[in-house]
Homo-oligomer: A and B are copies of this chain.
Amino acid sequence: LYASPSTSQIHDLLLDLCRCRHFILGKELTMASVLGGCHSLGPLGIEMKKNIISEWWNMVALNREQVLPIQTLLRWPPQPELVPQPLLRMCPDNKYESSSRVGPVTVPDKHQGQHIVLRQDLLQGALSHYIACLELVNRKLPFGISEVGTCFHTTQDGPDNNLHHTRTGERTAASLCWFSSAKTTTVWHDYWLRHRLLWWRRFAHIPSGFSSSEHQDTEGAKTFVINYDFPWGKEPVETLCMMDDSVLAQVHPGADTKLHGREGRKSVVPHLVWLNCDLDRGLLVYLSDALSLRGKEPRRAVLKIHPSLAPMKVAVDLGKGPAVDLRLVCQGLLSEMRGSGISVWPGYLDTVQTPMEQLFTKYDEMGIMFTVLVSDVTLESGLLQLRNRDTTIKETLHISKLRSFLTQYISAANKL
């Protein structure tokens, strides 16, 4: 599908689509500013990111033993000397960041006589609350500490505009620190790398777009990076690294016995595997993967987003018939679907008449999986028209079957 248009056309098309369907909000958006995290998310973008977060959480915690979610402060402690500098060496994340992100980023500043440093990752927070979490699991290893939250970095306004001024970018990171005994860390590391790659590929049309690479710094520390092959080149989406027991000792000086966990009969200071995933980039990945072109010139764009991630599962719209009565039916459908956790786009609220084909084009660009038309036929016989985004086929379905049809469709896609 990507064969015919050039890379820069795909590039522009994706950005245009994100902008005009309000996945992404902001003025003067460029691919560089979006990769750099200088944009806001619109309604569709945030719904899709919510779905990605929820799938991340399912993977991390659903069938797993103990994973404790926490939420730490966005600014680091008032005393910046408490942030151990060697940690930066051990988390070589930033070195493998895309070119649009430069250097480890904090915002060291003075306000009423004190420093404010904004966090650049979620590792420090997890490590500093390790002792409390260890108590909560009664010292039993292995266990994990997870957090999803905003991190900050400085970013350069890419080569696009040659301004070369830096600004602060934001991203939503998802982090898991997995603590286990030294003996088992390598096994866990391989386990997580395999699972994370499987997870990324699971929601993609082109699973081979994801690859992993290994990086070793001058002192021998290894980092694994999961990359995605965007039309304009590879960008990292997640890093995994192993760290030994010196990390915890560094963050908690003098607390040696409090750091000990139990694995089997042994009491040890655990090593850890750190998974650091960039969810805003994940959103871009799946939007880019979902973009496909349909029909003859001018070809129409469709966002074939995976059913689990699609921000809106169904749009409810009016067909022919008495508008007041049909709206009541639509309202009932909306409540029923939302009540079962199915996101609905209430197209029926719009009182401006739009030709059906134009509506379908719009919904395809929004990545909405199904369009439901309520018409006078529905009032007579309870039958709805249901149009599929991916096949463009229209089916007829009884109104009482819609919810179970959608639920089954989504859960079937999830099991593939």
Contacts and interface: CB of A to CB of B under 8 A. Distances in A.
Interface of A: 22, 25, 38-43, 45-47, 49, 61-63, 65-66, 68-75, 78, 107-112, 114, 116, 125, 129, 132-133, 135-138, 140, 150, 152, 154, 165-168, 170, 262, 334-335, 338-339, 346, 349-352
Contacts of A111: 107-109, 154, 168
A25 B109 contact: no
10 contacts: A22-B135, A25-B72, A39-B73, A41-B70, A43-B70, A43-B136, A49-B71, A74-B74, A78-B167, A108-B111
Contacts of A125: 40
B116 A40 contact: no
Number of copies of this protein chain within its complex: 2
A75 B168 contact: yes
A328 to B, nearest CB: 13
Contact of A25 (B132, B168, B352): B132
Contacts of A69: 43, 46-47
B22 A112 contact: no
A338 B62 contact: yes
Contact of A133 (B22, B61, B72): B22
A330 B69 CA distance: 21
A116 B107 contact: yes
B350 A167 contact: no
A132 B22 contact: yes
Nearest to A38: B73
Contact of A346 (B25, B65, B107, B165): B65
A22 B351 CA distance: 51
Contacts of A132: 22, 25, 42
Nearest to A131: B25
A69 B23 CA distance: 11
A121 to B, nearest CB: 15
A70 B25 contact: yes
A73 to B, nearest CB: 6
